[in-house]
A and B are shown apart, each in its own frame.
Chain A
């Protein structure tokens, strides 16, 4: 090959790199290792640390849900796994149709008409939703619930800071934890680009006033954005049915593993409003036909919104997204269907309520702290001890307790956010309750 090119050494090809910029040493990186050595090394590393006896009782943005084997089998397929973005649609119909199905399945689940092919995660979807609202109505404020994930809020701040958007929190009802509609009415005005609400909320309770909130938002021509945990929608009302203009959320529960928080799957959906569609961020797959024969086919469409065409005027800079995670979710939703999703919602919420009840019977606790319906997450308040102390004690039994909330929401006192799903059996919950009892009765 070198002869064909006319060089004596490969370094001849690097002649353009000035001598003083060349890296002379060796990169200080361990290896090379054989496959067997790499397997040994990396597995050994991963297995360090305490191994939990059951899935963690944690939620808040990533949740332990079972991933059916068929999902893993499909996303391991080399033709999907090792393909790039479908820039050549004729040879990429498989991934294009799969993502189109993901968009379609989500629309059914959410009660919306358009979904994009994915954003990075719920947090970035919130950032993009705020920016979209502001682009559409040229307003600068987004109203958000008081109890929002501090991490998600931090990402929203990063996204909106450059355009100077304001983020204002809505008050909550002390009994139910839910957004106070009166406060929303007071705060919404001609500067409000969007009203954002999450249901189930970050603390797990369902917001009952969403329809009224949508009306208040629309009354001031603001967008109403709903944030959802999609796995709740087998039993909970679809956001399209209570007036959401945009729906965002985290698709991880739908067939994606937790993976220490990534990759995740940012959901972004809207009604079929051309004004909104043309401002949407990210890739969108659409149906078309072959020029000859009129056969149904799929393509990336509305690309004139995107960075590779529109450059600095693009609706977003996003290029790579979470395509394979959206395929996983398509497989997941197809497997479960309407009945599976309903059954799943029922077992999740039943077990969560069982856990709430059993924990609530313990001394020195309050669970949940708010008088509302909770889907799968709930707050546990502690008296005379700290959530951190409780978690340490649980860990000695290899149980991961709920997320301590004192730093994020000091007004709740010593509290933790617990999550129970179909992955937690009665046995797991009972073990948690015994563990809690040991600490609380000590």
Chain B
């Protein structure tokens, strides 16, 4: 066992406002040239008096080095996949984010490109976007795609809007009001369907954790606009009845939507397009190794089969004799979902990743991600207090969901406490309490970039926590102890009396003695 004595850096860092000293400034903008100053009026003369800012914004006044240190301190009070040990956050695919991708993404021709520049000045950008799309179509088995959605949920909603446009075009939207979603689905699925104007119908999972075919047949019908499915599902199980599911949905006139959050398991092994899906989204910030930036930016390209291609957002990127252009002339298009073309800088990192691995490398990445998660599942499923619910005999794909229900019953230690105790070993917690169909869920996704030694460390840590739960549960319940702060009063943050979402509010609450 090589569990580390972890202690997170803690700078007791003040808010940037509390570092302010009158008269300091951290950056000097350029000055207008004397000829410019001579040629134009003073700003106070130019701006209509009613629109002039009279009171300067109460921003902090801080020097350059103070700002730099402040945010470096804050960064050290954070945990990233490239700076930590392992980040097994289920459904989030926290694989290593290669540095070369960052280097390329800071190329001046990328950073400095304005989206309305003449295409002749951005041929390289358009070319890589076009090539990325071709690779995406290979991996997903779809016919066409848009790179515009800025995140996974944005992609889901775009996909739902495509389904909506399809039914509308066929004059069936009035009747097709329902989207079927399994109870194991990500929360974004029902939320995206609702934003697209549909009602959601939940279909229960069977004992094997997959869609219950009879339950599906009972809800599928003439009202069905589509079904949203993650495969492998959020339990990490590949739903082997997928062809039958697609058939049932298609026979009632619905479309199949693929939530690509779990694509990392199957690249080069099988493809959503071959399983009967009509629309897919993929998270480049998961499967294609782009960093998640503490919550974003991501990128959620959407792929479709040819019968939906006409509805894709505008513009599309087209190639003719090696020249790339943007095409807005798509009369059936749903219009736009993003102000421009999506998170292009993120796409560049995904493109570099795709080239680094190539077709064979992507397949190997998936295989190793599956090997790693099965290794963890196998080694942990019989740990005291833990179990692997839903078809424990079946192999898992890229992730596995353990339950700590028994441990909770027997010791009072919950999945939450296991998660917090893991932090104390410098290991990021798995996703917890999801999917909702597993009690005390620990959803573990190690990804392919972790070595067997790291996996063993993780396994040892969980086993040690289990032992501790049965011998000294109070020790586990105290966690986390080695992070910047211990347990937090979360209700306080949301209570109408104490809620505080800005410095401004903080000052006024302090003034009131709250």
Contact = CB atoms under 8 A, between A and B. Distances in A.
Given A28-B359, A299-B490, A338-B61, A83 B80 contact: yes
B124 A49 contact: yes
Contact of A114 (B120, B489, B501, B506): B501
A413 interface: no
A29 B359 contact: yes
A43 B367 CA distance: 30
A79 B76 contact: yes
Nearest to A257: B111
Interface stretch (B12-20, B212-220, B406-414): B12-20
A108 B74 contact: no
B107 interface: yes
Contacts of A277: 499, 501
B253 interface: no
Given A259-B113, A317-B191, A350-B43, A68 B78 contact: no
B294 interface: yes
B57 A233 contact: yes
Given A46-B125, A206-B48, A237-B53, A350 B37 contact: yes
Contacts of B357: 31-32
A41 B199 CA distance: 47
A162 interface: yes
Contacts of A272: 501, 505
Contact of B79 (A20, A83, A274): A83
B162 to A, nearest CB: 11
B326 to A, nearest CB: 11
Contacts of A274: 496
A240 to B, nearest CB: 10
B29 A288 contact: no
A384 interface: no
Contact of B489 (A291, A338, A351): A291
B295 A84 contact: yes
A2 interface: yes
A55 B112 contact: yes
Given A31-B354, A403-B116, A426-B35, A92 B78 contact: yes
A90 B25 contact: no
Interface in B51-85: 51-54, 56-62, 64, 67-68, 70-83
Interface string A236-264: 11100000000000100000011111111
Contacts of A314: 187, 191, 194
Interface in B188-243: 188, 190-197, 199-200, 237-238, 240, 242-243
A90 B423 contact: yes
Interface in A281-318: 283-293, 295, 297, 299, 301-302, 304, 306-314, 316-318
Interface stretch (A96-104, A180-188, A190-198, A362-370): A96-104
Interface string B411-441: 0000000011001000011010010000000
Interface string B491-507: 01110101111111110
B92 interface: yes
B354 A97 contact: no
Interface stretch (B149-157, B382-390, B464-472): B149-157
B32 A109 contact: no
B8 A338 contact: no
A333 B70 CA distance: 13
Interface string A81-100: 11111111111111101111
A52 B121 contact: yes
B78 A258 contact: no
A105 interface: yes
Contacts of B452: 1
A336 B59 CA distance: 9
Nearest to B34: A426
Contact of B242 (A21, A66, A262): A21
B395 A113 contact: no
Given A62-B115, A123-B336, A4 B30 contact: no
Given A23-B268, A38-B104, A117 B359 contact: no
Interface string A329-352: 011011111111111111101110
B502 A400 contact: no
Contacts of A316: 191, 195
B479 to A, nearest CB: 9
A318 B270 contact: no
B486 interface: yes
Interface string B352-393: 101111111111000100111011001100000000000000
B127 A48 contact: yes
A286 B493 contact: yes
Contacts of B197: 161-163
B345 A262 contact: yes
B39 interface: yes
A439 interface: no
Contacts of B41: 353
A113 B502 contact: yes
A25 to B, nearest CB: 9
Contacts of B243: 18, 20-21
Contact of A93 (B71, B78, B336, B374): B78
B438 to A, nearest CB: 15
Nearest to B244: A18
A31 B361 contact: yes
A211 interface: yes
B106, B161, B313, B484, most chain A CB atoms within 10 A: B484
Interface string B324-359: 000000000011111111111110100110111111
Contacts of A66: 29-30
B474 to A, nearest CB: 14
B395 A21 contact: no
A175 interface: no
A198 B80 CA distance: 38
A13 interface: yes
Given A336-B59, A337-B26, A400 B82 contact: no
Contact of A90 (B153, B358, B486): B486
Contacts of B109: 46-47, 51
A171 interface: no
A211 B50 contact: yes
A319 interface: yes
Contacts of A90: 420, 423, 480, 483-488
Nearest to B503: A104
A121 B104 CA distance: 23
Contact of A301 (B151, B267, B269, B494): B494
Interface string A126-160: 00000100000000000000000101101101100
A53 to B, nearest CB: 11
A321 interface: yes
Contact of A290 (B116, B200, B488, B504): B488
A68, A234, A262, most chain B CB atoms within 10 A: A262
A385 interface: no
Given A90-B483, A290-B487, 8 more contacts: A4-B378, A42-B355, A81-B294, A97-B13, A286-B494, A324-B293, A338-B61, A343-B29
11 contacts: A32-B357, A46-B110, A90-B486, A105-B60, A155-B336, A259-B343, A261-B114, A302-B494, A340-B28, A354-B32, A426-B36
